[in-house]
A and B are shown apart, each in its own frame.
Chain A
Amino acid sequence: MPYNLKEIIAEKPVRFTAGHRMCAGCGCPPAMRMILRALHPEDHAVVSVATGCMEVSTFIYPYTSWTDSFIHTAFECSAATMSGVEAAYQSMKKQGKLPQDKNTKFLAFGGDGGTYDIGLQSLSGAMERGHDMVYVCYDNGAYMNTGIQRSSATPHFADTTTSPAGKVIPGKMQPRKDLTEILEAHHLPYVAQTIGVNNFKDLYEKAEKAIYTEGPTFLNVLAPCPRGWGYPTDMLMQINKLAIDTCYWPLYEIENGVYKITYKPAKKLPIEEFLKPQKRFKHLFQPGNEWMIEAFQKEVDDRWEKLLQLEKATSEPNAEAK
């Protein structure tokens, strides 16, 4: 069925409601809401969320924004917690303790702090064990909930409260970790990197694939944070567009090891376009710091080039030739 945004919004239920207390203009809620819309309306879901913005602002006792079953336990174990829920489902369904005609899907969420860093082991374990679940990382590139501390997802040179751009050290001195590739190294049936942009087609379709592919699957979703990144709050969609047009955040998927880049910008924009609106990169534009932009550009180019090669190397004709 071809993607029809208006029909999806009009017909499919909202599974993440208003009344949550995420910041105005936050990039997470639109993306997460759309991912949940990819669920078939007749299916029940259990959602687990790691401690972080998407938990502490969406389930503040006694109010919850989640219309499906929801569990939060701690920061580093969204995946492990969900693996227990899923194990219970498989066991109880097999024993006839749950209705046979009802499907439940399992979605674990975590921010980059809870996924790239403190929750990486729990995620790796759950994926390796093969639980039938989707793990969704909403990557806003720092520990935003605790006040913008650097994570391993924080981009090179970014100014954060624990990698401040100072007189001697100009921001975070390490490039960001490539989590999507780490997950691909688990040989999962489906791994994708996506974003909520334009008509949200890329996000929705990947979410649907991830949810309805049997086994463990992974989505890495860039979710801008206006406070942490320091861009005007209303620029969410423009920032997302710049992230993909500069190839800072390539959109691609890997199905059983086969790479497919789902968006190739007609004209790849220079990385400055993405960096410039963001206060966390302000110091990169000071005279004498050109080398930082060059280094950033090189990093983006190298990763994009590698991705193009991976796509080529794993595409069908090549795969057959092997």
Chain B
Amino acid sequence: MSIRERLSGNEAAATAMKQINPDVVAAFPITPSTEIPQYFSTFVSNGTVDTNFVAVESEHSAMSACIGAEAAGARAMTATSANGLSLMWEMIYIASSLRLPIVMSLVNRAVSGPLNIHCDHSDAMGVRDSGWIMLFSENNQEAYDNLLMAHRIAEHKDVLLPLMVCQDGFITSHSIENIELLEDDKVKEFVGTYKPEHYLLNSEEPIAVGPLDVQAYLFEHKRQQAEAMRNAKKVILEVSKEFEKLTGRSYSFFEEYRLEDAEIAIVCMNSTAGTTKFVVDALRNQGIKAGLLKVRVFRPFPAEEIASALSHLKAVAVLDKADSLNAAGGALYEDITSAMYIAQKQVPMINYVYGIGGRDTTSKEIESVYTDLQKIVSTGKLENPYRYLGVRSK
């Protein structure tokens, strides 16, 4: 029997970490993820976990220590947000290129500047091509579930890549919601023990990690990483299936909400999907065939599968909670339009940059997106594809 609880997203993440019981956690406080290491260090202080908690002096050192610990043969975890991730940036790439399955909770927040501590996805988007697997979570339950699946995916011998589980800062991290937890022993059994083939602390086989990789080799090592990311797709589905058997909760690359017979749809990630579902239901009651595609697995990017799932629609709006400042579209939009082009699916598609710096996105605003889509369908005119939602304008 699962355990019914009421937890915030940060509590959910810390609870997952407690049940995973990693060997090392190295973390540095930054709003809104601070509570995760805070709760977790309480578990350490009370002997609830076996973890060695390293209270580092910066996020750069947090990721460095996680790399050291993981290469040493340990399971290492961390949590951060926004500028913390920015400071880690150099080590983010090193973690993935050294093929170390570190697991991180990324509590999404706007990257400075100007300074803002509230939610958007600019932190995650900044590292989207760094070789980390990226799972997004609509709510506390998904943040918890994604973390429980994380090590099984990251540590798989065909993958060996670090993984981050994203949740929306404050909106998810600080909101208390109902949650179903697994029993400790079930988590332990599901997650299993980490048995790396080669590791620094094996005195029987000293190894060297992190070479100078000259022209004759770096390309090949990057090619290996690319292959691992492709392999991750299969592994994510396998692990999700197994997780479903255990919990009854079903996960895939993305969630299709009333999408099958929809004519217009929104694509988004994290908590906005909750608001969108509410709007979809309301519109359906009015006879409007609205749907939603909520991306869970952003990296590896399930391009083919998303293109296929959207191909029957008459118009689609992709919502980006980070502006790419590229004089074109947001990252998710660019990825999806590109996926559609490759799959030769021609669906009118617009982009909305929204919710920057914690700007609330109301159901009314989401409804306006569907209204815009209806207009595109009825007029056959797309006009400006690059739009903003919820920004003040003259």
Report if A84-B69 is in contact (Cβ < 8 Å); known contacts: A46-B201, A104-B201.
Answer: yes
Interface string of A110-126 (1 = CB under 8 A from B): 00000000000110111
Distance in Å: Cβ of A47 to nearest Cβ of chain B: 9
- Size band of the interface chain A makes with B: 35 or more
Distance in Å: Cβ of B127 to nearest Cβ of chain A: 16
From the candidates A44, A64, A90, name the one contacting B208 in the complex (CB within 8 A): A64
- Size band of the interface chain B makes with A: 35 or more
**Contact between chains at A61 and B73 (CB < 8 Å):** no
B305 interface contact, C-beta 8 A: no
List, in ascending order, chain A residues with CB within 8 A of B214's CB. Answer: 60-61
B187 interface contact, C-beta 8 A: no
From the candidates A70, A80, A83, A91, name the one contacting B23 in the complex (CB within 8 A): A91
From the candidates B64, B207, B208, B213, name the one contacting A80 in the complex (CB within 8 A): B64
B94 interface contact, C-beta 8 A: yes
**Contact between chains at A95 and B23 (CB < 8 Å):** yes
Interface string of A53-85 (1 = CB under 8 A from B): 001100111101011111111101100111111
**Contact between chains at A88 and B74 (CB < 8 Å):** yes
A151 interface contact, C-beta 8 A: no
Distance in Å: Cβ of A130 to nearest Cβ of chain B: 11
List, in ascending order, chain B residues with CB within 8 A of A90's CB. Answer: 52
**Contact between chains at A73 and B68 (CB < 8 Å):** yes
Nearest CB in chain A to that of B209: its residue? A71
**Number of cross-chain contacts by CB at 8 Å:** 166
**Contact between chains at A87 and B24 (CB < 8 Å):** yes
B200 interface contact, C-beta 8 A: yes
List, in ascending order, chain B residues with CB within 8 A of A89's CB. Answer: 72, 201
**Contact between chains at B91 and A77 (CB < 8 Å):** yes
**Contact between chains at A80 and B211 (CB < 8 Å):** no
**Contact between chains at B68 and A44 (CB < 8 Å):** no
Distance in Å: Cβ of B335 to nearest Cβ of chain A: 29
**Contact between chains at B64 and A46 (CB < 8 Å):** no
**Contact between chains at A44 and B211 (CB < 8 Å):** no
Report if A71-B201 is in contact (Cβ < 8 Å); known contacts: A88-B76, A121-B58, A125-B57.
Answer: no
**Contact between chains at A83 and B61 (CB < 8 Å):** yes
Interface string of B251-293 (1 = CB under 8 A from A): 0000000000000000000000000000000000000000000
**Contact between chains at A70 and B208 (CB < 8 Å):** yes
Report if A92-B54 is in contact (Cβ < 8 Å); known contacts: A81-B68, A98-B201.
Answer: no
Distance in Å: Cβ of B30 to nearest Cβ of chain A: 16
Report if A85-B211 is in contact (Cβ < 8 Å); known contacts: A92-B23, A92-B201.
Answer: no
List, in ascending order, chain A residues with CB within 8 A of B98's CB. Answer: 73
**Contact between chains at A125 and B61 (CB < 8 Å):** yes
Report if A91-B57 is in contact (Cβ < 8 Å); known contacts: A81-B64, A81-B68.
Answer: no
Given contacts A46-B201, A80-B68, list 7 more A-B pairs with CB under 8 A.
A61-B217, A67-B206, A70-B206, A77-B64, A81-B64, A81-B67, A88-B76
Q: Can you list 19 contacts pairing A with B, beta carbon distance less than 8 Å?
A: A60-B211, A60-B214, A61-B212, A61-B213, A69-B200, A73-B67, A74-B94, A80-B60, A80-B68, A81-B64, A83-B65, A85-B69, A87-B74, A91-B50, A91-B51, A92-B72, A92-B201, A125-B61, A129-B55
